[in-house]
A and B are shown apart, each in its own frame.
Chain A
Amino acid sequence: MRSLTRSLTVSPGLTIGLLMVMVWVVTAAFAPWVAPHEPTAMGVGPQTAAPSWGYWFGTDQYGRDILSRVIYGGRYVLAIAPASTLLGLILGTLIGLLAAYGRGWLDEVIMRLLDAIMAFPIVVLALLALTVLGSSTLNVILVIGLVFAPLIARTARSAALTEVRKEYVEAARLRGEGHWYVMVMEVAPNIRGPLMVEATIRLGYAVFTSATLGFLGLGVQPPAPDWGVMVSSSRSLLTTAPWAVLAPALAIAAVVIGFSLIADGLRDREQQ
């Protein structure tokens, strides 16, 4: 805890990043109390009204309050991104550890399989899988988690490779510790640092990817106030009501920037 407070004061980027993300987390969590209107209720205001004291971010073509929609929209992004990253993190760490610790043919087979999965451009793979599986929030989480797993596995493997060569691992083998003990109790705690950094980077990309899928119509489905969906459905209003597009767009940017500031801060702390 002390080290956390210290790094917060030492690294302003980390602090700003955390604040930027926390704002969205808090408003999304307390959306029913914070948001002035129902997110999907039509005609709560005039159509395409410009931002004003009554409608801070204006309204869209159906007269829905954009502020409320953006606040509720945070719920999708902030549920999908952490859940899919967590899934990718767990899978990726296990695979990476197994490859690094197993070495030899096991490593080779795992890496070739991961290579094959990474041979797909991420969005294309997600597109393919969601088309086949059908788009639901759960499927979006699964698909993003699965396409991120190989990337995280690569990081986990390369961090673990330097660890398994260290002498404390041999010392553990010399006192007869089993494979699982060595992997989970000895090696895993030492790759926590790079994995945390990688996970934070992935969080940003997960926000990005889920918004993109929403925009393409393969993620969360309208009329849900997902940010990607909002940009997509209001883009024809660009010239008449640019706020309808800008509000969700800037929300995405803010969260992604927040996560990348956190990742940078964590990485700096790692390297000290």
Chain B
Amino acid sequence: MTTPLLTFNALSIAFRRRGEWRTAVRDVSLSVQPGETVGLVGESGCGKSTLAMAGLGYLPDNARILAGEISLTGESLATMSPARLQQRRGDTIAAVYQNPATALNPALTIGRQISEIFEYQKGLTARAAMTAAKAMLEQVRIANPEQLLRAYPYQISGGMQQRVVIAMALAGEPDLLVLDEPTTALDASIQADVLALFDDLRRDLGVAMLLISHDLGVVRAVCDRAAVMYAGEIVETAPVSELFAQPKHPYTASLIDCIPTGHTHWSHERLASIPGYPPALGERGAGCAFAPRCPVARAACQQQPVALAWLNNSHASRCLFPEDTAAPGGNRPPATPGRPAGERVLESDDLVVGYKGVRVLDGVTLDVRAGETLALVGESGSGKSTLARALTGLTVPDAGSVRLDGTALPGAQRKRVQSTRRALQMVFQSPENTLNASHRIGPALGRAIRELGGLGYRAARALVPERLAQVALEADTANRRPAQLSGGQRQRVAIARAFAGDPKAVILDEPTSALDVSVQAAVLDLLIDLQQRRGTAYLFISHDLAVVRYIADRVAVLFLGRIMEVGPVERIFSGVRHPYTAELLAAIPDWAQDHPSTQAAPVMTGARDRPTGCPYASRCAYVMPQCANEPPPVREPAPGQQIHCHLPINELPGSLYE
């Protein structure tokens, strides 16, 4: 057997916080063999990044290794001299992290930042190093490296920045890449692209990888083997195919069942949710850490710590009753049919919003019906949030109109009447900023009930416990401040606030994109229940197509401020579709069976240089001569589905439905 590149052996790490040592990583044993790709998954705060930094010998000052050992190709980090460690970084192990924007030095050109590695590690001259840097950029599939070498980091897009970071990591020809959420900050189609790049690197260079992600889909698509972490421990490790076919730890099984598959609507298959929350750092019971939330827990589980046990030579689980783990889908509650859509509630007609002379929204026409969810998808910069702001009057549109229940609304929020505000509300993306940090939940929610529900102070305050209960929060949440709540809890408060005056339509701007999958599943559940009880119309903005497939009845696809396509969700996912929709769908990690062989990265055209015809023309694989100049006609391959494209219906991508 070969020596593993990286080994964690019974490793425990603690952080010092407010004068106390709290264990963040406990008894972790894991190794990465040459050429292997190992995934490390788990929800936020479970210790993934801590483990990765430990592997690089770069723990923060307030961290301490309590027990165990880390070794690089058999050589223990604990006994390594600083000079030796510096040498091994780069030539054995290199890293790529989540946020490429901060990982690059803002004051130096890209070329300088890559070439210095060759100068100091390989002793090349400045000129030779620059040539080598150029070659490196070509290796990460960058089209015109010369230009990039002279650019500063802020001048290039996030996807490009991440490629540059990868190029830097590869420059020392390392045997192992540690990738900490390398695609989390990127748009879906760019994520697919970067993942495809990893695949190539693995094949061409044989470099091993430790890929850290909270996204099971990514791990499934890229890795050979995966380890699942919970509360600082590895709870299960197995080859990816085995792990997803039949997990042997209830946490893994629940986690898998929390993730929308991208194939079904909630009325056919409901997502599972995991009750409760993971233990806070250093605050877990004596027994199995998952016991308080485990669907099959028994008395024995609470008594003493559970050890990681090997079930066969490649599959290990930290569970006393691994065979009781449900099969995939086994944690999902039965589905119930949804209610039919009603009248049109919220409509926009030819809405235009300009910003610094550029049309960010260029004639958007949409409608949402009572009890229905219309999803709005599109890459970042396509104008999704601008549309939400224009509908709610936070941004005043330059042209076009917004109608609520058939009545045209004034463009500016200020000019709207209170009954309009009550009827049209919004839930925002960031759980950090959606609530005022200095207001307690009770008064904040009371204020919303008072203003939107038209109630007096006392009556409004009296309603707070009931409203909290409706979003499954305990009554004592009212006395807390936002900082004392988790992201999911805050988002529930924000939902309760939006529902304070029994709205007819709610705009949800990426309400779950900052949440962990298990929390996301619970919040989606809540939204579905509220809608089914009250018949609220939802405009659900998201870049996650699997979530869209799960929650939406209809989908609108936005590109550079124009609607490309609108249609029923099942038509768009399984029928013919607009070429741009096809590109978006191809980017779902396990959607496409094999990866779209590394296509040139989509050129990000800004709204500024949009052609007069189809805005997608500069990127479209099906582009025809008339596309750039003539506005595309509307195709209707099925009732309710409208595709704006010059292609005849039978040449559109996707297959005709049924």
Pairwise interchain contact B429-A174, C-beta atoms closer than 8 A: no
Pairwise interchain contact B448-A175, C-beta atoms closer than 8 A: yes
Q: Which of B416, B429, B436, B451 has the most CB of A within 10 A?
A: B436
Known: A173-B413, A176-B451. A189 touches B421 (CB 8 A): no
Residues of A contacting B452 with CB < 8 Å? Answer: 175
Q: Give A175 to B452 CA distance when docked, in angstroms.
A: 6
Q: Which of A174, A189, A192 has the most CB of B within 10 A?
A: A174
- Which of A173, A186, A192 is B436 in contact with, Cβ under 8 Å? A186
Pairwise interchain contact A170-B394, C-beta atoms closer than 8 A: yes
Residues of B contacting A186 with CB < 8 Å? Answer: 436, 439
A186 to chain B, nearest CB (A): 6
Pairwise interchain contact A174-B436, C-beta atoms closer than 8 A: no
Pairwise interchain contact B394-A171, C-beta atoms closer than 8 A: no
A104 to chain B, nearest CB (A): 13
Residue A235 at the B interface, CB < 8 A? no
Pairwise interchain contact A174-B426, C-beta atoms closer than 8 A: yes
- Which of A176, A189, A192 is B418 in contact with, Cβ under 8 Å? A176
Residue B425 at the A interface, CB < 8 A? yes
- Which of B416, B430, B451, B494 is A177 in contact with, Cβ under 8 Å? B451
Known: A167-B429, A171-B426. A176 touches B421 (CB 8 A): yes
Residues of B contacting A190 with CB < 8 Å? Answer: 436-438
Residues of B contacting A180 with CB < 8 Å? Answer: none
Task: Convert B420-431 into 0s and 1s, putting 1 for each residue whose CB lies closer than 8 angstroms to a CB of A.
Answer: 010001101110
Task: Convert B451-470 into 0s and 1s, putting 1 for each residue whose CB lies closer than 8 angstroms to a CB of A.
Answer: 11000000000000000000
Residue A168 at the B interface, CB < 8 A? yes
Residues of B contacting A175 with CB < 8 Å? Answer: 421, 447-448, 451-452, 500
Residue B433 at the A interface, CB < 8 A? yes
Pairwise interchain contact A167-B421, C-beta atoms closer than 8 A: no
Residue B331 at the A interface, CB < 8 A? no
Residue A103 at the B interface, CB < 8 A? no
B510 to chain A, nearest CB (A): 11
Interface size class of A (residues with CB under 8 A): 10 to 19
Pairwise interchain contact B413-A174, C-beta atoms closer than 8 A: yes
Known: A176-B451, A177-B451. A171 touches B421 (CB 8 A): no
Known: A174-B426, A176-B421, A177-B451. A189 touches B392 (CB 8 A): no
Closest-by-CB residue of A relative to B444 is: A168
- Which of B394, B429, B494, B497 is A173 in contact with, Cβ under 8 Å? B394
Q: Give A60 to B436 CA distance when docked, in angstroms.
A: 58
Closest-by-CB residue of B relative to A188 is: B438
B442 to chain A, nearest CB (A): 15
Pairwise interchain contact A174-B425, C-beta atoms closer than 8 A: yes
Number of A-B contacts (CB under 8 A): 48
User: What secondary structure prevails in chain A residues at the interface with B?
Assistant: helix
Residues of B contacting A173 with CB < 8 Å? Answer: 394, 413
Residues of B contacting A171 with CB < 8 Å? Answer: 426, 428, 434, 448, 494, 497
- Which of A168, A176, A177 is B434 in contact with, Cβ under 8 Å? A168
Q: Give A177 to B444 CA distance when docked, in angstroms.
A: 13
Residue B435 at the A interface, CB < 8 A? yes
A19 to chain B, nearest CB (A): 23
Q: Give A174 to B494 CA distance when docked, in angstroms.
A: 13
Q: Give A174 to B507 CA distance when docked, in angstroms.
A: 12
Q: Give A190 to B438 CA distance when docked, in angstroms.
A: 6
B496 to chain A, nearest CB (A): 12
Pairwise interchain contact A168-B436, C-beta atoms closer than 8 A: yes
Closest-by-CB residue of A relative to B429 is: A167
Residues of B contacting A189 with CB < 8 Å? Answer: 436, 438-439
Q: Give A189 to B482 CA distance when docked, in angstroms.
A: 14
Residues of A contacting B497 with CB < 8 Å? Answer: 171
Total count of chain B residues near the partner, CB < 8 A = 25
Residues of A contacting B494 with CB < 8 Å? Answer: 171
- Which of B392, B433, B439, B447 is A174 in contact with, Cβ under 8 Å? B392
Residues of A contacting B448 with CB < 8 Å? Answer: 171, 175
Pairwise interchain contact B413-A167, C-beta atoms closer than 8 A: no
Q: Give A176 to B435 CA distance when docked, in angstroms.
A: 16
Pairwise interchain contact A166-B421, C-beta atoms closer than 8 A: no
Pairwise interchain contact A170-B428, C-beta atoms closer than 8 A: yes
Which A residues from 165 to 214 make CB contacts under 8 A with B? Answer: 166-168, 170-171, 173-177, 186, 189-190, 192
B176 to chain A, nearest CB (A): 35
B413 to chain A, nearest CB (A): 6
Residues of B contacting A168 with CB < 8 Å? Answer: 433-436
Q: Give A186 to B482 CA distance when docked, in angstroms.
A: 14
Closest-by-CB residue of B relative to A165 is: B433
Q: Give A171 to B421 CA distance when docked, in angstroms.
A: 11
Q: Give A253 to B437 CA distance when docked, in angstroms.
A: 38
B507 to chain A, nearest CB (A): 10
Q: Give A170 to B435 CA distance when docked, in angstroms.
A: 10
Residues of A contacting B434 with CB < 8 Å? Answer: 167-168, 171
A228 to chain B, nearest CB (A): 39
Residues of B contacting A176 with CB < 8 Å? Answer: 413, 416, 418, 421, 451
Closest-by-CB residue of A relative to B448 is: A175
Which B residues from 379 to 402 make CB contacts under 8 A with A? Answer: 392, 394
Q: Give A189 to B481 CA distance when docked, in angstroms.
A: 13
Q: Give A22 to B436 CA distance when docked, in angstroms.
A: 35
Q: Which of B392, B418, B447 has the most CB of A within 10 A?
A: B447
Residues of A contacting B421 with CB < 8 Å? Answer: 174-176
A161 to chain B, nearest CB (A): 14
Q: Which of B416, B429, B434 has the most CB of A within 10 A?
A: B434
Residues of B contacting A174 with CB < 8 Å? Answer: 392, 394, 413, 421, 425-426
Q: Which of A170, A186, A190 has the most CB of B within 10 A?
A: A170
A152 to chain B, nearest CB (A): 20
Q: Give A170 to B393 CA distance when docked, in angstroms.
A: 10
Q: Give A109 to B392 CA distance when docked, in angstroms.
A: 29
B529 to chain A, nearest CB (A): 22
Residues of A contacting B426 with CB < 8 Å? Answer: 170-171, 174
Residues of A contacting B500 with CB < 8 Å? Answer: 175
Q: Give A165 to B371 CA distance when docked, in angstroms.
A: 31
Closest-by-CB residue of A relative to B501 is: A175
Closest-by-CB residue of B relative to A173 is: B413
Closest-by-CB residue of A relative to B507 is: A174
Q: Give A186 to B451 CA distance when docked, in angstroms.
A: 15
Q: Give A170 to B430 CA distance when docked, in angstroms.
A: 12
B515 to chain A, nearest CB (A): 15
Q: Give A174 to B428 CA distance when docked, in angstroms.
A: 12
Q: Give A177 to B436 CA distance when docked, in angstroms.
A: 14
Task: Convert B467-509 into 0s and 1s, putting 1 for each residue whose CB lies closer than 8 angstroms to a CB of A.
Answer: 0000000000000000000000000001001001000000000
Residues of A contacting B437 with CB < 8 Å? Answer: 190
Q: Give A166 to B436 CA distance when docked, in angstroms.
A: 9
Which A residues from 127 to 174 make CB contacts under 8 A with B? Answer: 166-168, 170-171, 173-174
Task: Convert B528-549 into 0s and 1s, putting 1 for each residue whose CB lies closer than 8 angstroms to a CB of A.
Answer: 0000000000000000000000
Q: Give A174 to B389 CA distance when docked, in angstroms.
A: 10
Q: Which of A167, A176, A177 has the most CB of B within 10 A?
A: A167
Residues of B contacting A192 with CB < 8 Å? Answer: 438
**22 interchain pairs (CB within 8 A)?**
A167-B433, A168-B433, A168-B434, A168-B436, A170-B428, A171-B428, A171-B434, A171-B494, A173-B394, A174-B392, A174-B413, A175-B448, A175-B500, A176-B413, A176-B451, A177-B451, A186-B436, A186-B439, A189-B436, A189-B439, A190-B437, A192-B438
**Residues of B bordering A, CB below 8 Å:** 392, 394, 413, 416, 418, 421, 425-426, 428-430, 433-439, 447-448, 451-452, 494, 497, 500
**Residues of A bordering B, CB below 8 Å:** 166-168, 170-171, 173-177, 186, 189-190, 192
- Please name the 8 residue pairs, one residue from A and one from B, whose CB atoms are nearest each other, closest first: A167-B428, A189-B438, A166-B433, A168-B436, A175-B451, A167-B433, A167-B434, A176-B421
Interface contacts beyond A168-B436, A190-B438: sample of 18 additional A-B pairs, CB < 8 Å, sorted by A? A166-B433, A167-B428, A167-B434, A170-B394, A170-B426, A170-B428, A171-B428, A171-B448, A174-B413, A174-B426, A176-B416, A176-B418, A177-B451, A186-B439, A189-B436, A189-B438, A189-B439, A190-B436
